[in-house]
Amino acid sequence: MPKGIIGKKIGMTRVFKDGKAIPVTVIQVEPNYVVNIRTEDKDGYSAVVLGTGEKKEKRTPKPMLAIFKKAGLKPLRYLAEFPLKEGEQPEPGQEVKIEDVFEKGDLVDVTGTSKGRGFASAMKRWDFSGFKKSHGSRYHRAVGSIGACSDPGRVWKTKRMPGHYGNETITVQGLEVVDIIPDKNIILVKGSVPGAPKSVVKLKESVIIHRRKGKRKLERAKAVYAS
């Protein structure tokens, strides 16, 4: 089985565990299907391509149609590539369920597209505190100094200034899987994840589980949620 899956963010709520309220994000995992297999001999690495969501055939490029037909699938809207677990080799066209990939207490990395906020000021975009609010000040929400006159005599690159805010690909690492509801294809993840409701997110095995702190966090999560 793959080490990840494609889902859709529904929203946030809370669940109670041992008298404590835990904020969780509800992610619905619609049927995922194996579209293609990456192999060491052909591609140089081992991975699996998953797809979900229906798509009209007339809106699908012919090369992609051939791949879907080879796997015995109808055209799918969202595709993502995930590494494979050792010793497992799924077949093209096989359905992947959420309970086949994750279980309670696992740590996952969730990738999504943040909400787009358009052109924003420096205070909103970079969380600046602003200047004094007194009557004597002529600057309240201004950026402030962005470069001296003679030295350096220009604005440095990466200077935090007003500009486009949001609509970026963001990954949140090390979120705990609080619960899995197989009959409703829902997974509950502790904390918030990027994206608006009904936006597509990718869940994959967390990279921090190979670190010392990540291993301790995984052990604690297994003890709390797997019981």
Report the 10 Å Cβ neighbour count for 136.
5
What digits encode the pLDDT tens for the residues 198-226? 999 999 999 999 899 999 999 999 998 87
What is the total count of domains within the chain? 2
Decide which of 150, 165, 180 is a domain's last residue: 165
Pair 179, 102 in one domain: yes
What digits encode the pLDDT tens for the residues 42-95? 888 889 999 999 899 999 999 999 999 999 999 999 999 998 877 778 888 999
Pair 22, 108 in one domain: yes
The residue segments making up the domain with residue 139 are 117-165
Q: Which two tokens stand for residue 139?
A: 């600057």
Q: Which two tokens stand for residue 222?
A: 């297994």
Pair 58, 152 in one domain: no
Report the 10 Å Cβ neighbour count for 51.
25
pTM of the model: 0.87
Q: Which amino acid is at 86?
A: E
Pair 99, 41 in one domain: yes
* Omega within 30 of 0 (cis) for the link into 182: no
Q: How much of the chain is helix, strand and coil, in % rounded to 5?
A: 20, 35, 40
Pair 110, 29 in one domain: yes
Pair 159, 143 in one domain: yes
